Amino acid sequence: MKRIFFNTIVGAIMGLALGLGWSSPTLAQGDPLPSWNATATKQAIVEFVGRVTKPGSPDFVAPAERIATFDNDGTLWVEQPMYVQMAFALDRVKAMAPLHPEWAHTEPYQAVLEGDIKALARFDEHDLVQLIMVTHAGMTTGEFSKIVTDWLATARHPRFKRPYTELVYQPMLELLSYLRANGFKTFIVSGGGVEFMRPWTEKVYGVPPEQVIGSSIKTKFQMRDGSPTLFRLPEVNFIDDKAGKPIGINEAIGRRPIAAFGNSDGDLEMLQWTTISAGVRFAAIVHHTDAEREYAYDRQSRIGRLDVALGAAAENGWTVIDMKKDWKVIFPFETR
Amino acid sequence: MKRIFFNTIVGAIMGLALGLGWSSPTLAQGDPLPSWNATATKQAIVEFVGRVTKPGSPDFVAPAERIATFDNDGTLWVEQPMYVQMAFALDRVKAMAPLHPEWAHTEPYQAVLEGDIKALARFDEHDLVQLIMVTHAGMTTGEFSKIVTDWLATARHPRFKRPYTELVYQPMLELLSYLRANGFKTFIVSGGGVEFMRPWTEKVYGVPPEQVIGSSIKTKFQMRDGSPTLFRLPEVNFIDDKAGKPIGINEAIGRRPIAAFGNSDGDLEMLQWTTISAGVRFAAIVHHTDAEREYAYDRQSRIGRLDVALGAAAENGWTVIDMKKDWKVIFPFETR
């Protein structure tokens, strides 16, 4: 918390400095994006930040309007071979199974408990919603937050054998910090569950809970033995994906972002909403091109499909980040 | 915008100063709450802020957790003789009438157009929802924002003959600034429409759009002639009142406030959610006791009824702000 507070001060003072006419968009000391190769991608990012922060420039944007939104799965952290939140749900089914002996012979639970990969791959939306609801509802918001935190402390990615919170993209962490140092307010706008992200986004990304927008289930306010609680109900409240992203941004922020970052067709409408408007705008798509260091997937992928949005990028002048070419390192642990 | 940015810097530097061990919870120069009489109410506020901001104190709260939530109608601005947003809806019916000749003989529109006060007073919830929907939906979010801004520029309060944005409570403006100067993040949590408030809360209260939580209608994302728009639909999305307030706070902020301010039974659950929890907490209720300078109402009032919450205040040790006794002035124009 101390470190984040310090960063806030540094950011504020940087902002003040810029307001007083020091025009460098970068941090005073060294390259603020050291994990990015010196490609056109990096240049496009730095140029955009320079234009909107240069006082007196016709493209200058007041700090309050410097809103940048980031998708999470596949944009800030790994989403293969399955969404982290799905791995969480499957582990929760296993953890909860002793209380539900009937699951041993009831689908979709049986397939999960038996680790039947083929059956899992055939799950339809109804199965997935059922798995999410049974594992994400039926407790208070405080209890759910603790379940998520405890799971993240022990769960490991099947390929990298590391905690999921270490499988975040180092170049994107630098980008988040760089934007904040230049007076931007950074938001996460994810199809994932908002209460699945909030317990850890401040520590991992420097993004506080009030700047995390996501999908949600309904909650019910109850006084329990004199204590107020919010109880999580097995009912969808909001799906923050595709056309839901600009809707969620408008509901939660009430301003239009000037920069947005995504990696799949689920981000198309957020990028349109951000860029097709007056003023200087910036959008980028993380293209997973590195099967060796991470994964390579796009048009045919079941998870994180990037097809229509890739065409839209060409049409709208969005930057396509080529992981293999643009990133020196992928994960923070590679730099240590 | 410049002024707000400057205030942010001052707030950050104040926070830094406090972090370094200067323990005064007030601004360096003079009384930060000059419109408050030196009563127990003012003392309770200053003591609370002192406790949570004093470094090393067992009650110290990190700046990131210093969340304070404020109801709007009747807590920050006038809500009599009717909610400002209802005055807006009635004026909009009149402005839209030429396009709807059938309204001249269709209720509830006819009563509005004829200024039939008795009929207006008999409107049930169905009538009111109908009036809200027809005046608040059917346009883009950008168009609605302009309609609100234009209306506020010309509309006048029937008794005070002033713009509604001048009928905000000076002591509460000082309280908002005082909390922010002490590292708090201030949020509005209102039963009113979120998009009715956001066009003006930053200018009037110093509360940016992303810190305004309110009731909302559904929106639909559409590409129109190549431009992305959010179109407002005549369908309720969320009612941010009563038990909806803690739900709205959790959805939008994801942290529990440590201070909350309200004025009616609609704020009861927000105040419970804020205060009935571990750590030092503060809640206050604005009690409208000044018929001469503003209005006097509580248990029997149709608008802003304060009945159950007044009992809960006594039970839970919430501060009751007595407008007549605690406030030197009510409105900013009295100080000029």
Which residues from B are below 8 Å from A246, CB to CB?
221, 228, 230
Q: Which residues of chain A does B195 touch, with a Cβ-Cβ cutoff of 8 Å? A: 254
Tell me the pLDDT tens digit for each residue of B6-62: 344 433 433 333 333 334 444 446 999 999 999 999 999 999 999 999 999 999 999
> How far apart, in whole angstroms, are the C-alpha atoms of residue B300 and residue B282?
26
Q: Which residues in chain B are contacts of A220 at CB distance < 8 A?
A: 243, 247
Q: What is the pLDDT of residue A29?
A: 63
The per-residue pLDDT for A21 is 34
Hey, is the C-beta of B246 within 8 angstroms of any chain A C-beta?
yes
The answer to whether A63 and A182 have CB atoms below 8 angstroms apart is no
Q: Which of A52, A44, A54, A49 is nearest to A21 (CA)?
A: A54
| Contact assignment for B247 to A221 by CB distance below 8 Å | yes
Between positions 84 and 123 of A, the ones with CB within 8 A of B are: none
Query: Is A20 within 8 Å of chain B by CB?
Result: no
pLDDT digits (tens, 9 = 90+) for A155-169: 999 999 999 999 999
Residues of chain B with pLDDT under 70: 1-29
Q: What is the pLDDT of residues A287-303, one digit of tens each?
A: 999 999 999 999 999 99
What pLDDT is attached to residue B117? 86
**Which helix (H) or strand (E) covers residue A2, if one does?**
helix A2-19
Which residues in chain A have Cβ-Cβ distances shorter than 8 Å to B243? 220-221
Q: Is the pTM of this model over 0.80?
A: yes
Tokens read off for A116:
């039947």
DSSP B222-276: EEETTEEEEEEEEEEEE--STTHHHHHHHHHT-S--SEEEE-SGGGHHHHHHHHS
Residue carrying structure tokens 């922010």: B180
Residues of A in contact with B250 (CB under 8 A): 141, 219, 230
Identity of residue A48 = F
- Tell whether A138 is within 8 A of chain B (Cβ): no
Residue of A nearest to B229 (CA): A273
Segment A274-283 shows an average pLDDT of 97
Q: How confident is the model at residue A220 (pLDDT cuts 50, 70, 90)?
A: very high
**Which domains occur in chain B, in start order?**
2-80+166-335 (3.40.50.1000), 84-154 (no CATH)
Query: What confidence category does residue A106 fall into, taking pLDDT thresholds of 50, 70 and 90?
Result: very high
Is the pLDDT score of A26 beyond 70? no
* Residue A249: per-residue pLDDT: 98
Q: Is 90 exceeded by the pLDDT of residue A31?
A: yes
* Contact: A272, B210; criterion CB under 8 Å: no
Q: How far is A229 from chain B (nearest CA, A)?
A: 8
Interface contacts A/B by beta carbons within 8 Å: 122
Give the pLDDT mean for A8-34.
51
Judging contacts by C-beta atoms under 8 Å, the chain A residues touching residue B3 are: none
A16 contact residues in B (CB cutoff 8 A): 9
Q: Do B221 and A252 touch (CB under 8 A)?
A: no
Measured between CA atoms, the residue of chain B closest to residue A141 is: B250
Interchain CB distance below 8 Å, A198 and B254: yes
Q: Which residues contact A218 (CB under 8 A, 6 or more apart)?
A: A232, A233, A235, A236, A237
Amino acid letter, A222 = Q
Query: Any chain B CB within 8 A of the CB of A322?
Result: no
Tell me A239's DSSP state.
-
Q: CB-hemisphere CA count at 13 Å for A290? A: 18
Report whether B187 contacts B68 (CB < 8 A).
Answer: yes
- From chain B residues 251-290, the ones with a CB under 8 A of any chain A CB are 251-255, 269, 272-273, 276-277
Contacts with B277 from chain A: Cβ below 8 Å: 227-228
DSSP A185: E
Name the region of A121 (left: φ>0; alpha: ψ -120 to 50; beta: rest).
Answer: alpha
CB pair distance less than 8 Å for B9 and A1: no
Q: Which of residues 163-202 of B touch A (CB under 8 A)?
A: 185, 194-195, 198, 202
Do A205 and B261 touch, CB atoms closer than 8 A? no
According to the model, what pLDDT value does residue B29 have? 63
The pLDDT, as a whole number, for residue A23 is 40
| Beta-bridge partners for A282 | A259
Q: Which residues contact B41 (CB under 8 A, 6 or more apart)?
A: B284, B319, B320, B321, B322, B326
Are the Cβ atoms of A1 and B198 closer than 8 angstroms?
A: no
Helix-strand-coil percent breakdown of chain B, rounded to 5? 45, 20, 35
CA distance linking residue A252 with residue B67, whole number of Å = 16
Q: What is the pLDDT of residue A12?
A: 40
Shortest CA gap B274–chain A (Å): 9
Instruction: Give contacts of A251 with chain B, Cβ < 8 Å.
Output: 194, 216, 219, 237
Which one of A198, A226, A255 has the shortest CB-CB distance to B210? A255
CA distance A306 to chain B (A): 20
A114 pLDDT more than 80: yes
B220 CA: distance to closest CA in chain A (Å): 7
Q: HSE-up of A281 (CA within 13 Å, CB side)? A: 20
Partners of residue B62 in chain A, C-beta under 8 Å: 1, 5
Distances (CA, A) of A310 to A306, A319, A327: 6, 10, 19
Res B77: pLDDT: 98
Mean pLDDT computed over A110-139: 93
Residue B286: strand pairing partners: B321
Assess A210–B contact: CB distance below 8 Å, yes or no: yes
**What are the CA-CA distances from residue B269 to residues A158, A222, B249 (Å)?**
44, 9, 11
Q: pLDDT tens digit string along A128-152?
A: 999 999 999 999 999 999 999 999 9
Enumerate the residues of chain B whose CB falls inside 8 A of the CB of residue A13.
Answer: 9, 12
